[in-house]
Amino acid sequence: MSSASYRNTAIRFAGVPVGGVKIGSGVKNKDRDKSVGASSAQAQPVIRLRSVLIGVCTLAVCMAGPLVLVWTQSYINQVSLRLESKTEALAAAKSEITALGLERGRLSAAARIERIARAHGLEYPVSGQIEVWEVRTPRSGEGGLFAYLKQTFLGGDKSGGPL
């Protein structure tokens, strides 16, 4: 079979070319035969292009599917390892917080502070050494920066009352 006849049979379906005109209907018309030949020659590359595109797409899906599955599994493994390391770090931090809390409690014990103070020569103050200071905050409208500056630079009220 010649390559020309093979091409013609490859694009025919039941004797009808892809263009839809039946060949060999009994009427010989050179113009019509030329037009049928021209349409089958034009239709032939389109069919090959479609079949090539379908083949390429099928091949791409067949190759990409397993790659996507492998990538997904690898990503899941990486995230799992990161989660495990973060969980271990969190457990270590919690145990360190617990240990530091116990040490803080031990170091801030009143008996320990008294012992260290006595070792440095400190004693409890007598009643004459204790002074109580009253701190007053200015109410709205009577204080703020202006009242502080007035007292500082102009002398202000030294009686301890509101400015």
Residues 6+ apart with CB under 8 A from 15: 22, 23, 24
The answer, as to whether pTM is greater than 0.85, is no
- C-alpha separations of 44 from 33, 48, 157 in Å: 16, 6, 108
Q: Are 56 and 27 in contact (CB under 8 A)?
A: no
Q: Report which secondary-structure segment, H or E, holds 26.
A: none
What is the separation, in whole angstroms, between the first and last Cα of the chain? 119
Q: What is the mean pLDDT of the chain?
A: 76
CA angle 23-20-37, nearest 5°? Answer: 50
Q: What is the mean pLDDT of residues 111-115?
A: 93
Looking at residue 18, its pLDDT comes to 52
Q: What residue type is 107 in one-letter code?
A: L
Q: Distance between CA atoms of 48 and 7, rounded to whole angstroms?
A: 11
Per residue in 119-141, pLDDT (tens digit) is 999 988 888 888 888 877 656 55
Dihedrals phi, psi of 124, to nearest 5 degrees: -70, 145
Confidence class of residue 152 from pLDDT cuts 50, 70 and 90?
A: confident
- How many percent of the chain have pLDDT more than 90? 38
User: Residue 19 has what pLDDT?
Assistant: 53
Q: What is the per-residue pLDDT for 84?
A: 97
Is the model's pLDDT at 118 over the cut of 70?
A: yes
The answer to whether residues 127 and 107 touch, using CB atoms and an 8 Å cutoff, is no
Longest dimension (CA), the chain: 137
The pLDDT confidence band at residue 156, using thresholds 50, 70 and 90, is: low
What pLDDT does residue 148 have?
75
Report residue 131 as tokens: 């002074």
pLDDT band at 158 (very low <50, low <70, confident <90, very high): low
Q: The tokens 């009253």 sit on which residue?
A: 134
User: CB-based contacts of 33: which residues, under 8 Å, 6+ apart?
Assistant: 23
Q: Quickly count: other Cβ atoms within 10 Å of residue 138's Cβ.
A: 14
pLDDT at residue 163, as a whole number: 44
